[in-house]
Amino acid sequence: MKVKIKWTYNGSKKPRANFYSELLQANEALLIMDDLEHMNRATNIEFEDELGNSWTKKELKKLLEEIKDDPQDVTVYFDGGFLKNEALAGIGIVVYYTQNNKKLRLRVNKRMEQLNSNNEAEYAAFYEGMRILEELGVHHQPVTFKGDSQVVLNQLAGDWPCFEEEFNRWLDRIEAKIKELSILPQYETISRKQNSEADKLASQALEGTIVRSTLQL
């Protein structure tokens, strides 16, 4: 979790100035503030996270204690495949994260019916990634989403309009889940080669091989 520090500097001859730090790891920000307070120069102290939420020092310490065992530094890779003749979709999701000072990778795939196109399979893969984040307990933090579907990522980012009703339904579901989990999404379009893990999982799902595994890296 990263935060900015906001505080008012009080000098010995009463000059006052307001300061704002760059984004820092929350634990580092608390150490810096402890040092400033030790010199009796900082008042009106506030911390602001990447979602725009404000915290007092006491509240931030309490929050860090509450989330210390939650996943952090989360990146989600997603991909979807579709067999038109069989009306069958396969989706693959790979989640990288840290938890309890361990770097972990979760791989999941799923076979799906009642979808109509490859783009819809990509949306379904993204939404399944959101469901996995909810299962893991990821909330109130930035998450990076990487995939090779420009359509999905640009429409989610609001850079491309969406006119298809079936895609808009997926967009609504995804955005509702993002809001529910208080996630700050960061979207990154990558090449198919860079997305090979999720692509392989989607292909395995189409072949009938279902995967769910967690590996410590």
The three state secondary structure string of the chain is CEEEEEEEEECCCCCEEEEECCCEEHHHHHHHHHHHHHCCCEEEEEEEECCCCEECHHHHHHHHHHHCCCCEEEEEEEEEEEEHHHCEEEEEEEEEEEECCEEEEEEEEEEEECCCCHHHHHHHHHHHHHHHHHHHCCCCEEEEEEECCHHHHHHHHCCCCCCCHHHHHHHHHHHHHHHHHCEEEEEEECCCCCCHHHHHHHHHHHHCCCCEEEEEC
Q: Tell which residue, 185, 183, 155, has the closest CA to residue 171.
A: 155
Residues 146-189 pLDDT 10s: 999 999 999 999 999 988 889 999 999 999 999 999 899 999 99
Q: Which residues of the chain have pLDDT under 50?
A: none
Whole-number pLDDT of residue 120: 95
Whole-number pLDDT of residue 12: 67
Whole-number pLDDT of residue 64: 87
d(Cα 75, Cα 95) in Å, to the nearest integer? 6
d(Cα 114, Cα 116) in Å, to the nearest integer? 7
Question: CATH 3.30.420.10 residue ranges in the chain?
Answer: 72-216
Is residue 183 within 8 A of residue 87, CB to CB? The reply is no
d(Cα 182, Cα 25) in Å, to the nearest integer? 18
Cα-based distances in Å from 205 to 137, 193, 209: 25, 19, 5
Whole-number pLDDT of residue 1: 80
Third-level CATH fold of 72-216: Nucleotidyltransferase; domain 5 (3.30.420)
Total length of the chain: 217
| Max CA pair span of the chain | 79
* pTM for this entry: 0.82
